[in-house]
Amino acid sequence: MRNIAVLGCGIEDCDCYAGLLWAAEHAQDLGIDLTQISVAGVSAGGGLAAATALMARDRHGPKLQGQLLVCPMLDDRDQTLSTLQYADIGTWNRQSNQVGWTALLGKKKGTQGVSPYAAPSRAQDLSNLPPAFIDVSSTEIFRDEDIDYAQRIWQTGGVAELHVWPGGFHAFTVIEPNSKLSQHAIAASANWYRRLLAFTSK
């Protein structure tokens, strides 16, 4: 894989982007259709996927077909209403979130020096991004930052499909994949991706 130092960013910012570049450069060997590359992730992985989409846009990297963001972790500032509402509730509470962001950013957490490639909610411009699927639970700390991210994509004229699942907890589709709510959520993301494939393959 290409040296991250060559990309001019830190490991916390662009390890996933380096992986995307490598996959695109070796697409023929890997049997990858370059017109149908998407990024996806759950929780912190959703934040990494969103950051990779931002970096691919900004650096004129591989054109992404879509970004599937499941309960993504996007904002290190930790100040939304839902963060306060569910501070001590759920599988990932406010204390867990603060520990996670501090592990990534150290003393930079919550300051003006945080890159949008580390915390995608910091991005000032969400235009010209690939279509997004964003889903989140109604009773988890990431609810409001994820809703805000979708709204800001819409405000630029971009495409985002947002699902807020009532009563779900953080990463419920991973922890309880056989529940009825999880089955509905999993089906929604699968249907979105099928529509995306059908649209982009025309």
SS (H, E, C) the chain: CCCHHHHCCCHHHHHHHHHHHHHHHCHHHHCCCHHHCEEEEECHHHHHHHHHHHHHHHCCCCCCCEEEEECCCCCCCCCCHHHHHCCCCCCCCHHHHHHHHHHHHHHHCCCCCCCCCCCHHHCCCCCCCCCEEEEEECCCCCHHHHHHHHHHHHHCCCCEEEEEECCCCCCHHHHCCCCHHHHHHHHHHHHHHHHHHHHHCC
Lowest mean per-residue pLDDT among 1-10, 54-63, 162-171: 1-10
Kindly tell me if the per-residue pLDDT of 1 is higher than 50: no
Domains in the chain with CATH codes: 4-200 (3.40.50.1820)
Query: What is d(CA 119, CA 16) in angstroms, rounded to the nearest whole number?
Result: 14
11 or 165: which carries more pLDDT confidence? 165
Average pLDDT for the chain: 92
**Arithmetic mean of pLDDT, 3-11:** 48
pLDDT band at residue 74 under the 50/70/90 scheme: very high
What is the pLDDT, as a whole number, of residue 4?
44
CA distances from 80 to 15, 19, 24, 163, 191 (A): 28, 32, 37, 18, 30
CA angle 46, 83, 127 (to 5 degrees): 45
Tokens standing for residue 120: 């995608």
Kindly tell me if the per-residue pLDDT of 180 is higher than 70: yes
**Arithmetic mean of pLDDT, 60-87:** 97
**Arithmetic mean of pLDDT, 59-83:** 97
**Arithmetic mean of pLDDT, 48-76:** 97
pLDDT in tens, 12-38: 557 899 999 999 999 999 999 999 999
**Arithmetic mean of pLDDT, 82-91:** 93
Within a 13 Å sphere around the CA of 194, how many CA atoms are in the beta-carbon half? 6
**Arithmetic mean of pLDDT, 119-140:** 98
Kindly tell me if the per-residue pLDDT of 193 is higher than 80: yes
What is the pLDDT, as a whole number, of residue 10?
55
92 near 50, Cβ under 8 Å? Answer: no
Answering whether pTM is above 0.85, one says: yes
What is the pLDDT, as a whole number, of residue 98?
96
**Arithmetic mean of pLDDT, 45-52:** 97
128 near 138, Cβ under 8 Å? Answer: no
